[in-house]
Amino acid sequence: MEELSLLQRVAVWVLPVLFAITIHETAHGWMALRLGDPTARMLGRLTLNPIKHIDPLGTILVPGLLLMFSGFLFGWAKPVPITAQNLRRPKTDMAWVAVAGPLSNLLMAIFWALVARLGLAIGSGSPELALFLIYSGMAGMFVNILLMVLNLLPLPPLDGGRVVSALLPGPMSWRYDKLEPYGFFILLGLLMTGILGKILWPAITLALVGLAPLAGLNEENMSFLLTSLLN
């Protein structure tokens, strides 16, 4: 397989990243609506329009700079507003709202694995389209698995932190939630020191290896594709 130029790398990342953040946030709002909170729908955030979810800093600038200058992709979208008091069982339902985001990323990773498989099936019949689908599929698998694993970390305000908060008894949950204002800075510190990568990579690698048969790729091909996308 051919290696990609910078312009080609940006092109194959755009759709997977936009869909990953858009569907992740929409999934939170959809689950909240199912459990009694219409806030996201009322504010126009229950939509697949990526413009409604884009954060200029977290969705465009930070991921773009990291994609150009490092081997790690990190970013965020505007959180979908949830009014916990509207939920039928606020404490328990917030956990389900939180889980909906990472679950949507898992389903999208499976979808992108099938896109990569389609590219392999097209093969020499249309090599440019095949290459685009294979690399886009790999990018989609990676970014969605990354978002899923990252958001499952037990750190407020990440989705995993919401789940932990819902599982803890009242007083402990309240104390745990007080970490939320510092969560982003803790995450940034872990990223800058390289600790975050060491925490995430084993789980990301395991999930990608699990998706490889569905994508029609072996570990060697998957490693080559991922290296071309990130370096």
3-state secondary structure of 25: helix
Cis previous bond, 171, omega within 30: no
Residue of 2, 3, 25, 220 marked active site: 25
How far is residue 16 CA from its own chain's centroid?
10
What b/e readout covers 54-69, taking b as 16+ CB neighbours within 10 angstroms? beeebbeebbeebbee
Q: Tokens at residue 69, please?
A: 């200058």
CA distance 33 to 28: 9
Active site residue 25: yes
The whole-angstrom distance between residue 227's C-alpha and the CA centroid of its chain comes to 19
Distance in angstroms (rounded) separating the CA atoms of residues 12 and 8? 6
Instruction: Tell me how far apart the alpha carbons of residues 203 and 227 are, in angstroms, rounded to a whole number.
Output: 17
Q: Which residue has the tokens 């080609």?
A: 8
* Of 69, 15, 25, 65, nearest in space to 45 by CA: 25
Helix H or strand E segment including 214: helix 195-215
Residues with active-site annotation: 25
